[in-house]
């Protein structure tokens, strides 16, 4: 089992550009989560899907952020336009039930 796979591992982009982060969950898991890690807020839930359907996107900071899960094996988190304050590590996680999450290695995003 390859675990949760995220790409890219690192992304450096200029302010105003579109950024797309990708995630492949563990096969068979029915829930997928996008988290953002910052020093001030720790691990912050942005959005989660259950059976490919967005359940709670209350953590998405602004309309600049959007997430999709077109099928059970793929999800994207898009930021358009990106801003320097979006710089953080973004984690994707999948699970069979809410408590036990399996995380990917994260994408470190730097917006300059």
Partner 1 sequence: DQQVKQNSPSLSVQEGRISILNCDYTNSMFDYFLWYKKYPAEGPTFLISISSIKDKNEDGRFTVFLNKSAKHLSLHIVPSQPGDSAVYFCAAVPGNEKLTFGTGTRLTIIP
- Please give the residue ranges that form the binding site for partner 1 (CB under 8 A): 4, 33, 35, 40-45, 48, 55-56, 91, 93, 97-106
Instruction: Using DSSP, state whether 9 is helix, strand or coil.
Output: coil
Instruction: Using DSSP, state whether 81 is helix, strand or coil.
Output: coil
Contact 50, 36 (CB under 8 A): no
* Least Cβ distance, residue 15 to partner 1 (angstroms): 25
For tokens 């942005």, the residue is 46
Q: Which two tokens stand for residue 28?
A: 């068979």
Q: Which is nearer to partner 1, 59 or 81 (CB)?
A: 59
Q: Which is nearer to partner 1, 41 or 53 (CB)?
A: 41
* Least Cβ distance, residue 79 to partner 1 (angstroms): 20
């Amino acid at each position: 089992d390859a675990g949760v796979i995220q790409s890219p591992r690192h992304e450096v982009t200029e302010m105003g550009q579109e950024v797309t982060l990708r995630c492949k969950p563990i096969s068979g898991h029915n829930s997928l989560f996008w988290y953002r890690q910052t020093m001030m807020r720790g691990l912050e839930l942005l959005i989660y899907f259950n059976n490919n359907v967005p359940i709670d996107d209350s953590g998405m900071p602004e309309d600049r952020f959007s997430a999709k899960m077109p099928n059970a094996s793929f999800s994207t988190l898009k930021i358009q336009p990106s801003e320097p304050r979006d710089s953080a590590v973004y984690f994707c996680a999948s699970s069979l039930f809410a408590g036990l999450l399996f995380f990917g290695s994260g994408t470190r995003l730097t917006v300059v």
